[in-house]
Amino acid sequence: MTRPAQPLIGRTELVAGLEQILRSGQNRFVLLSGPPGIGSSTLADHLAGRQDVPVLRATASEWEADRPYSLLVQLVPELPTSNPLDTAAELVTRLEPCTVLVVHDAQFGDVASLRTLASAQRHHQDAALRVLATATTGDRRAPAEVLDLLPRIATDAPRVPPLDAGQISELAAAHGVALHPSMAERLRRHTLGRPRPAAQLLVELPRSTWSQFEPTLPAPAAVQARVREDLNACSPVARRFAEAAAVLGPDAPVRSVMSLAELDTEPLPLMDATTAAGLVALAPRGLTYVSPPDPMVRAAVLTELGPARRAQLQRRASELVDDPVRSLRLLVAASPVPDAEVAGRLDDLARERAAEGAWGTAATLLSDASRLTDDPQHQQALITRAVDALIGAGDVFRATALIPEVESIRETPLRDAVLGYLALVRGRAAEAGNRLRRAWAIVNTDREPETAALICQRYVLDALCRYDGNDLVLWADRAIELSGADTPTAVEAAAIRGIGLAATGSPKQAQRHYDHLTTRLRHGAQWQRATMARGWIHLISDRIDDARVDFESAIPTAHLGGSARISLWARAWLARVQFLTGEWNEALATVREAMEVQEHTGILVTGPLLLWTAAAVHAPRGDVEATEEVLLQGATGAGDYHIMRIPGQLARAHAAEARADSDGVLRALHPLTRPSPSASTDEPGHWPWQDMYAHALVLLGRLDEAEEFLVPHEKLAAKRGHASTRARLAAARGRLHGARGDVAAASGSFDEALELISALPLRYDQARINFSYGQTLRRLRRRARADVVLSAARDGFAAMGATTYVERCDRELKAGGVHRARPEPTPSSLTPQEESVVRLVARGLSNKEVAAELFLSSKTVQYHLTRVYAKLGIRSRAELAARTNPGQDD
């Protein structure tokens, strides 16, 4: 009888695959292997519990490995044994068909039992015997013959993967512990993603541990006990070697380990002894480096040292390592009481790392410094700066762990600026504005120029999110003036200043600004930020290929202190580039990757930019469910900033346009027709919404409004010389001319649009302009020319997978009838236009919706319907639907 079982965390796909194997009706020997604690035994028991066939279980033991058939007699007591082949025959006769045998710790199985199971598999195909065997890898006690035999007799050997950070969070939630993503990642690294030790720590440690900033995680009690035994079993010199290796940590030079352990003997025997005991592992770099086998073993060895001995070794180790960060952190670990000298060194090094843009490292050093400082005010300032550095690194969740400390301290300009910064990256415009205004109001620029410059730089980011170019340039200039052009704060402000220049109509000046700035910066987060911003300017200026290169260069964060926050901006704009160039699959992949980073970091301000692109892809592809999900997600996470609201409005407009819902387009974009006096939403190239709005006005027959709307935007685009905006607006102008019946003017505008857009790699816009042109020509009865441009539009949309628009092109082409073999006219035959109307009405569209879809007036649609009713001898839309879809009620 099947026992109810819950899906294992992080194992859903693996369980599904294994269940399919077990249901195959064939003999199978499934070997589930992995390191200790990976959960292979739990997985095997879970699978066995879901079977509705007999299940027998056995566990192999190290002390029975040399006793023939000791494993099999656990499964079938009193089983006669002779040799593997005959014993296999006897085993099959005693088991019910389709029996599942679960064998735990198979690495200790006796060879005779394993050979018998293999013979039963090979020679008794009708038995449908399924074996689920688990084995722990890396166990030196396992016999070599068994380790060789197991993979050879296994029919299936799926890998049991470690848990990722998200799955660790699920595991913690199952134990009643809420982990923010940074802490989940910390626990994952400490346990190497193994569920058993992770679960043990979640149970053993106080709940308060998981809300702390960078707590020191111990080994689980079971690991601690095993390591204690292994250390006690070592010789004194081997133990000293293992202890020194643990203090120095990963990739420690053997000569440093020997020096710290004060050993002058031959190291190789010590390496043999400690690796055999599982206390030390050889590093991949060769015999000259060693490491602890994993973080839990290291933590256990350090615990066994005791506080005094551990601190003594850590102080000496700090003099042996070359990395100044590791050296100082060893001193921190060895300091049980405040130490002003070490705190000062930490502060100085934190400033150096922050100047390079390595904010994550700076935050850790500042937090360490705060623990070694006994001056309360200085301690508070260090904690506040640590939070600021974490936000700069894009690690909002780790920053949040320190927020209670920051909020509890007295108000200072720095405190308000940091809390405003946190509100900013979360998309809370009102809170950020209030915090920054308060910080600026109470700061003394003469006494605290560094803090004042920092506040200005935060105002730069606030102005960017408000998309206020004038304010952005103003605050950037103040930051540079207060701090000096070469300081980190000034460089950060300068890296954003060019976007403000572009937003105020000076993109060429912005380009020169970034060309100069990027020659000064060679690496790190400062270069990353400037490169991302330069890519933004390239995108605004139609230099699409250059934009792609810059965004792709600004995405990586692993080298030289890059920031996840800047990487998110780069990914958001790269996805936009990929959308415009027709690489829609790649755009969605970029969005997915970025959303994972956003979930891990807690940065929300870039979310709507990513969702904009996702909606712009899903809607034309006709994926209604995905589109609605994205729009809902955008509405749920919408912030107060313009840079969050505008993409959300554009996403809704894309979805409405894909539905041929012109009213919906106008509703989505209407807020942009009355922008904030400070927001730069009309500058060409920044937010491409104007042509969508104009097209919707024309399609709804509001021609005079379209004329009035287009004129100022056309003038600004011409003044700026912005090619893609001019092309988009020219297409809207062409559609307006067409609606007024001016064939020559319509063709001239559309031809201008196509000429402008053809010089750019904007595949989506090219297809969209061709589609609008073809619709207009067909209405103006220029069917042959319409056929050509509609075919081009169809090819473009098809290449991007825009099925909604491909279908529209097909309807337009069919309605044009140029390549269609026409039947002899009869009283009941329908024209191509009438057939198009029939298909849409039969789908349930209203006359107004059909008119928008086919670029006709509602009156024309009704005229066609009247003729259709007469030809088909029907009187209602319901009869038409029934005639068109005869099986719909089945």
- Residues of the chain above pLDDT 70, percent: 94
Summarize pLDDT for 629-657 with one digit per residue, the tens: 999 888 866 668 999 999 999 999 999 99
Which amino acid is it at 568? L
Q: How confident is the model at residue 311 (pLDDT cuts 50, 70, 90)?
A: very high
Report the alpha-carbon distance of residue 28 to residue 130 in Å, rounded.
5
* CA 567 to each of CA 100, 263, 422, 590, 601: distance values in angstroms, whole numbers, following the listed order: 50, 47, 17, 11, 11
Does the domain at 398-597 match CATH 1.25.40.10? Answer given as yes
Our separate counts of H helices and E strands in the chain read 45, 7
- C-alpha to C-alpha distances, 238 to 91, 253, 258, 307, 588, nearest whole angstrom: 48, 16, 10, 20, 54
Question: What is the model's pLDDT at position 560?
Answer: 43
| Cα–Cα distance measured from residue 240 to residue 172, given in angstroms and rounded to the nearest whole number | 36
- What is the percent of the chain where pLDDT is above 90? 61
Average pLDDT score over residue span 575-600: 93
Looking at domain 12-153, which of 3.40.1280.10, 3.90.580.10, 3.40.50.200, 3.40.50.300 is its CATH number?
Answer: 3.40.50.300
Confidence class for position 888, pLDDT limits 50, 70, 90: very low
The pLDDT of residue 289 is above 60 = yes
With bands split at pLDDT 50, 70 and 90, how would you rate the model's confidence at 871?
confident
Q: How far is it, in rounded angstroms, from Cα 503 to Cα 521? A: 24
What are the strands of the beta sheet with 100-104, ordered from one edge? 28-34, 130-136, 100-104, 55-59
Contact 45, 88 (CB under 8 A): no
Structure tokens at 454: 């920092």
Q: What is the reported pTM?
A: 0.77
Instruction: Please report the pLDDT score of residue 128 as a whole number.
Output: 83
Radius of gyration of the chain (CA): 35
The whole-number average pLDDT for the span 100-113 is 92
User: Does residue 116 surpass a pLDDT of 70?
Assistant: yes
pLDDT value at position 431? Answer: 93
**Strand, helix or coil at 492?**
helix
pLDDT at 737: 96
Measured distance CA(55)–CA(580) in Å, rounded: 58
| Residue 583 phi, psi (nearest 5) | -90, 70
- So what's the pLDDT on residue 514? 87
Q: Are strands 281-282 and 252-253 parallel, antiparallel or unpaired?
A: unpaired
pLDDT, position 836:
81
Q: In sequence order, which residues have a C-beta less than 8 Å from that of residue 682 and are 6 or more positions away? A: 675, 690, 713, 716
pLDDT digits (tens, 9 = 90+) for 748-781: 999 999 999 988 999 999 999 999 999 999 888 8
Q: What is the pLDDT of residue 829?
A: 66
More confident residue, 731 or 878: 731
Q: Which of 143-147, 595-599, 785-789, 821-825 has the lowest mean pLDDT?
A: 821-825
What local confidence, expressed as pLDDT, does residue 861 receive? 78
pLDDT value, residue 564: 82
Residues 6+ apart with CB under 8 A from 306: none
What DSSP assignment string belongs to 198-241?
A: HHHHHHHS-GGGGGSSS------HHHHHHHHHHHHHS-HHHHHH
Q: What H or E segment, with its residue span, contains residue 870? A: helix 858-872
pLDDT value at position 678? 62
Is the pLDDT at 320 greater than 90? The verdict is yes
The Cα–Cα gap between 1 and 130 comes to: 17
Task: Say what the pLDDT of residue 833 is.
Answer: 76
Residues forming beta bridges with residue 104, ordered by sequence position? 59
CB within 8 Å of 282: residues ≥ 6 apart: 271, 275, 289, 290, 291
Average pLDDT of the residues in 516-531: 78
- Higher local confidence (pLDDT), 50 or 306: 306
Residue 85 near residue 91, CB atoms below 8 Å: no
Confidence of residue 2 (pLDDT cuts 50, 70, 90): very low
Fold for 610-816, please state it: 1.25.40
User: What tens digit of pLDDT does each residue of 496-516 get?
Assistant: 999 999 999 888 899 888 888
Q: Is the pLDDT of residue 659 over 60?
A: yes
Q: What is the DSSP letter of 156?
A: B
* Higher local confidence (pLDDT), 873 or 458: 458
pLDDT of the residue at 5: 41
pLDDT value of residue 663: 95
- Can you give the pLDDT at residue 526? 77
CA 127 to chain centre: 47
The set of residues, in sequence order, having a beta carbon less than 8 Å from that of 474 and lying 6+ positions away, is: 463
Classify 876 in phi/psi space as left (phi over 0), alpha (psi -120 to 50) or beta: beta
pLDDT beyond 90 at 103 = yes
Which pLDDT does position 679 carry in this prediction? 62
**pLDDT at residue 473 above 50?**
yes
For residue 823, what pLDDT band results from cuts at 50, 70 and 90?
very low
Averaged pLDDT, 543-571: 82
Q: What's the angle, vertex CA 559, arms to CA 554 and CA 562, rounded to 5?
A: 50
Once rounded to an integer, what is the mean pLDDT over residues 36-50?
A: 89
- Give the number of other Cβ atoms within 10 Å of residue 386's Cβ: 28
Angle at Cα 291 formed by Cα 290 and Cα 295, nearest 5°? 175
Enumerate residues 6+ apart whose C-beta is below 8 A from 6.
none
Question: Quick one: DSSP state of residue 797?
Answer: H
Mean pLDDT value across the chain: 88
Q: What is the pLDDT of residue 818?
A: 66
CA distance 643 to 652: 15
pLDDT at 819 > cutoff 60: no
User: What's the rounded Cα separation, in Å, for the pair 7 and 43?
Assistant: 10
The arithmetic mean of pLDDT across residues 366-379, rounded, is 91
Higher pLDDT, 81 or 697: 697
Average pLDDT over residues 489-502: 90
Closest residue by Cα to residue 359 from 396, 311, 405: 396
Arithmetic mean of pLDDT, 240-262: 95
Domain 832-884 bears CATH identifier 1.10.10.10: yes
Distance CA 243, CA 379 (A): 33
Looking at 719-796, which runs of residues are DSSP E strands?
A: none
